[in-house]
Amino acid sequence: MSGDGRSVIDKIWDQHLVADLDDGTSLLHIDRVLLHERSGAPALRSLREEGRQLYDHSLVFGTMDHVVDTRPGRGDATPVPSGDLFIHGFRDAARTHGITLFDIGDVEQGISHVVFPELGIALPGATMVCADSHTCTLGGVGGLAWGVGVTEMEHALSTQTLAVRRPPTMLVRFDGPLPDGVHAKDLILALIARIGAAGGRGHAIEFAGSAIAATGVEGRMTLCNMAVECAAWTGLVAPDGILLDYVRARPYAPPAGSSWEQAATAWLSLRSDADARYDRRVDIAVDDLAPQVTWGTSPQFAVGVDERIPDPGLLPDPAAAQRALAYMDLAPGQRMQDVPVDVAFLGSCTNSRIDDLRVAARVLRGRKVADGVRAICIPGSGSVRRAAEREGLDKVLTEAGFAWREPGCGFCFFAGGEGFPAGARTISSTNRNFEGRQGPGVRTHLASPATVAASAVAGHIADPRELP
Ligand SMILES: CC(C)[C@H](C(=O)O)[C@@H](O)C(=O)O
Ligand code: SF4
């Protein structure tokens, strides 16, 4: 564990180090400053109020995602109260500063963490920040990406640098062949169940192991997306051949020829040394892993879909587990698969990419959503939406009974606009199941797209491995 070698995290860090500062932080060069309307509008507004300029607008990109309407045929109107202040404020500021913005109506518009990797704006080996906690998603493309506050965002916008305390590092290895019906979402839920929602506190996590080497880049993004749900500073997967194939030919990636060759060689050199040093290590064997589903109001409250709700008395914090069960209206010993669902939601920056929709469609093809279940799919971006339509996945989903929407954060988090009735129970491909996350009194069970689709059909939480 404690060799002298450097990990991918150390290598990216060292390449971006501008100076070690007296207060123990390091000033890092930031390659990409990414914005969405919800946090970008306030950051740009305070920048303007302080009379500061962007350091380099060509390194800053924005999209509209949090408050946009996702209903078919949408316009500029937002269902979120005061949402139009964010939309118009962000649009005007982006124009003033010359920021490339994937606005409502742009073919590339979508959820930030989906759009920036698919356009090749988020790149391997890059440092990337956004005032959003799930910026760690971009670790799936082998960069160091983390969420910042609005003040740090202003600093990054005006200097293209940020002072950061070097995080402790953690190696998380997933080894073994991934069983059928088990996906990246299940891996990260299993990890969080194992180490706890505070178990990664402040760490930069490198995800590795044979199961990750065999996982596509979109799955790696799902994994990294939820690093923050165990309180990690970020998560990433080191660059490899699968990643290069993903990044190649993306619109903002280095063009074919010598610039691509140079970049690809540099990226591959970022892989961790065999004797790399980490502060902690966790090993998870995936051979016998079941699809995971949460029963409580924290992502750490997850079990196999074929299991029962545990006895709170046997958990590290019985009182928290009791409270969670009370909110979720569930009882210890209940079989997860006996829990009925009112809503099935496919979407969010965790699981709204084309691979996710393919997985869901495989389950839904020729099947119908159970009576009484409201099923909604919000593709993560315009590009995902078009790809799904080209493949006919939208037909499979709508014929099964899913609503097919326009890209955005949608029902992932309730912002006062569209929501579900209090008490509604959702099976959801999102990343947070906190009280009220999807609306006041709404009860969220986190799961993979396969499990969401299987549960939509069954009308209760269901095991995607067992559909007839
Ligand atoms: C609104 C935004 C800043 C927030 C975040 O930081 O993650 C949101 O995306 C979320 O998922 O809760
Ligand atoms: S999809 Fe959900 S988790 Fe992701 S950025 Fe939007 S609100 Fe946050």
Quick check: CB of 66 below 6 Å from ligand 1?
yes
Mean of pLDDT over the chain: 97
Q: Read off the pLDDT of residues 343-396 as tens digits, 9 standing for 90 and up.
A: 999 999 999 999 999 999 999 999 999 999 999 999 999 999 999 999 999 999
Can you tell me the distance from the alpha carbon of 222 to that of 238, in angstroms, rounded to the nearest whole number? Answer: 15
Domains of the chain, first to last:
8-164 (3.30.499.10), 169-239+268-285 (3.40.1060.10), 292-466 (3.30.499.10)
CA atoms within 13 A on the CB side of 405: 23
Extended beta strands in 22-150, E state: 26-29, 32-36, 60-63, 100-102, 127-130, 144-147
Q: Which residues are within 8 A (CB) of 127 and not within 5 positions of it... i.e. 6 or more apart?
A: 12, 16, 28, 29, 30, 31, 32, 143, 144, 145
Quick check: CB of 409 below 6 Å from ligand 2?
yes
Show the tokens assigned to 461: 């939480």
Q: What is the average per-residue pLDDT within 246-254? A: 97
**What is the ipTM for the molecules in this complex?**
0.99
Quick check: CB of 351 below 6 Å from ligand 2?
no
| Cβ 411 vs Cβ 73: under 8 Å | no
Quick check: CB of 137 below 6 Å from ligand 1?
no
Q: Using the mean position of ligand 2's atoms as its centre, give its distance from the Cα of residue 165 in Å.
A: 26
Distances (CA, A) of 428 to 36, 355, 379, 432, 450: 23, 16, 14, 9, 11
Predicted structure pTM score: 0.98
- The letter for the amino acid at 34 is L
Q: Which residues are within 8 A (CB) of 273 and not within 5 positions of it... i.e. 6 or more apart?
A: 3, 5, 6, 7
Q: What is the average per-residue pLDDT within 192-214? A: 98
Q: Read off the pLDDT of residues 52-102 as tens digits, 9 standing for 90 and up.
A: 999 999 999 999 999 999 999 999 999 999 999 999 999 999 999 999 999
Which atom belonging to ligand 1 lies closest to the Cα atom of 131? Answer: 3
Q: What is the average per-residue pLDDT within 317-325? A: 97
Q: Which residues are within 8 A (CB) of 65 and not within 5 positions of it... i.e. 6 or more apart?
A: 36, 37, 38, 109, 110, 111, 112, 115, 407, 408, 409
Q: What does the pLDDT read at residue 3?
A: 75
DSSP at 76:
S
Q: Answer whether residue 1 shows pLDDT above 60.
A: no
